[in-house]
Structure formats: C-alpha cells, structure tokens
Amino acid sequence: MKGLLILLKKVFPFIFFLLLEIVSLVLIFQNNRYQRSLLYAHINELTISFGKFSKQVSGYFTLAGENEKLARQNAELWSMLSRAQGLTDTLPTKPFAPKIFKQDSLLATQDVVHSKTSLSSRTPEYKYRAARVVNSTLYRQRNFITLNVGRADGVRPDMGVVSESGVVGIVVNVSSHYAIVASLLNKEIRISSKIARTGHVGSLMWTGTSANEGMLSEIPQHVNARMNDTIVTSGYSTIFPKGIVVGIVKKVRQNKGTFSDIYINFTTDFSNLDYVYVVETLHASERLELEKKTMGE
C-alpha cells in the first residue's frame, strides 16, 4: 500500500500533465471551427477504415461457413442446370424436320417426337450433393479420396464425383457418414469420354505415371484429335452426366493398330481438392435394368 502511494506520488505530476494537455485539446476542438471540422473528417475516415478492416477480419473468420453455403448453392444450381438441360434436350425443333445429327445431341434426335406435354412432367436426371474432401492419396497406383458424406446423406457406390474444374472420381464404398472415392488417379477406373470437338467416344484411364496425366484409348486413327482439344464425359454411363470436362489433349500417338492413344492432362488438381459434388443419376437402376434385360447380361 505504501509502495503504491509512493508510485502514485511519483507519477502524479505526469498524469496531471496529461490531464492539462487533454483539457487543452478539448478546448481547441470545441472552440475552433476549422480544427473541429478537420477532426471530424479524420475521425470519420478512421471509423470507415476501421469498419472496413473489422469487416475483413470477421469476414475471414466466417469464410468456412460461407464456403459451405456456396458449395450447397452450387450443388443446387447444378441440379437445376441438369434439369434445364434435360428439358432443352427434348425440345422438338420442327414437326417433320429431318434428323439432324449434332454433336452432343443424341437425345435430341431420339426425343424429337416427344409432345410438349411430356416435357413438363419430366423429372431432372441428376442431383448434386456438396461434400468436402477429408483425406486423399496421390502417390499410389490406386488412389482414393475420402468424403465427409455417406449413406445417411444419400450417397451410394457407383455415383460420380466432380469438382468445379472437372471429373474427380467414382464412389466405391460408403459408410453411414463417409464415402470412399476411387479418384481418376486409380488404374482400375475407366471413364467413358469423348473429344468435345469431334464427338468421338473412347475410354479414359490414368497412365499411372504422373498425377495429372491420363490416356484416352479406343479412338479410331482417322479421328483428327488436336492438341488442346477438350475431353469431356460422354454421358453413356449412369455415373457422370455428359459434357463434364475431364482434361485437355496434350499429345496424340498413332498406334500400329486401328486406334490411336490420346494423352491428356486432367483439369482437376488432385493435390488441391476441398469441395466436391457427388452426382446422383436419378433413374440409373431403371436404365441399367432395362439395358441388362435387353442385352441379356
């Protein structure tokens, strides 16, 4: 207590000095209009920049939540887009027009006879679910990705997984809250893909050498694939919708046989995956059953 008093006695003159200075400043800004206006302007500026700064900081802390929200919105939008594409695919062009075989329009040629009433009753073909990557491998011959969604979220094996930049892989195993995805970097995965420019379909697989190189095989030699051609999913399987980007052509090698090998760079960066989308093909089982019954397999 005595020490405190001594300390107070020691610092009191300085506190008194500060007090007098504060009184003087108050007098200045209360009684001089020019100084007051400048002070207000400065305070205003300071408040605005502080507000901006605190918003930036708080924005940073809420980023995770915002990301999740955006991912969910993305999934919804993609579902809506797939529904819209389903509708446009079935739009009749002219009542008796000859079949125009356009690229990416196989469905259009088949459904040209659909009446308009059938359009409104048509349900969307695909449903997207946002998910987060919780684990992944890159340097094995069979690489897998673990997602934070599972059976409880409606995820089942043989569903496709895509990201904003392209195809990621196929769900191979699920527990109630997690799903294991065989990524494109898995030598057991084959994806039916086509060259977007020409429409020729082949089978895509990982070369097993580098984390971004794949090979599109079974493309006839007469097909003129070029560098930088885009490779997209064909939509022939029940796993991926058609037209999702897989990679870009890097090199074309002519084989001795009838097919050429097309080497591509995957557009998905597997070392930097966070949010992905699980694709559910809504009538997959129905289609598969029909195909199986018809083809007798």
Partner 1 sequence: MTHLLRYIWYAFVLIVLQVFLIQNLNLFGAFSNFFTPCVYLAVIIGFPTDVPRTIQYLYAFFIGLSVDILSGTLGMHAFTATLAMGLRELGFVWVLNRSMATFTDVINIHTIERTAFISITVFVIVLHHFVLFFLDDMSWASLPWVLLRTLCSGLLTFVIIMLIQTYYINKKKYR
Point out which residues bind partner 1 (CB under 8 A). Answer: 12-13, 16-17, 20-21, 23-32, 34-35, 38
Nearer to partner 1, 26 or 91 (CB): 26
CA 102/CA 233 separation, integer angstroms: 16
CB of 53 vs partner 1, minimal distance in Å:
21
Long-range contacts of 92-98 (CB under 8 A, 24+ apart): 92/116
Paired residues of 217 in beta bridges:
203
Radius of gyration of the chain (CA): 31
- Tokens matching residue 224: 């003129």
- Tokens matching residue 12: 């009191």
- Tokens matching residue 69: 């929200």
- Tokens matching residue 117: 């009433």
CB of 9 vs partner 1, minimal distance in Å:
11
Among the listed residues 179, 201, 203, the one whose alpha carbon sits nearest the alpha carbon of residue 189: 203
Nearer to partner 1, 25 or 100 (CB): 25
CB of 40 vs partner 1, minimal distance in Å:
12
Helix (H, G, I), strand (E, B) or coil at 64: helix
Q: Which residue has the tokens 């084959």?
A: 190
Nearer to partner 1, 12 or 236 (CB): 12
Among the listed residues 296, 212, 290, the one whose alpha carbon sits nearest the alpha carbon of residue 246: 212
Q: Which residues contact 115 (CB under 8 A, 6 or more apart)?
A: none
- Tokens matching residue 220: 């006839």
CB of 17 vs partner 1, minimal distance in Å:
5
CB of 4 vs partner 1, minimal distance in Å:
19
Nearer to partner 1, 32 or 47 (CB): 32
Nearer to partner 1, 36 or 292 (CB): 36
CB of 177 vs partner 1, minimal distance in Å:
60
How far from 126 is each of 81, 87, 154, 248, CA to CA, in Å? 9, 12, 13, 25
CB of 265 vs partner 1, minimal distance in Å:
54
Nearer to partner 1, 27 or 63 (CB): 27
Among the listed residues 220, 291, 292, the one whose alpha carbon sits nearest the alpha carbon of residue 262: 220
Nearer to partner 1, 12 or 101 (CB): 12
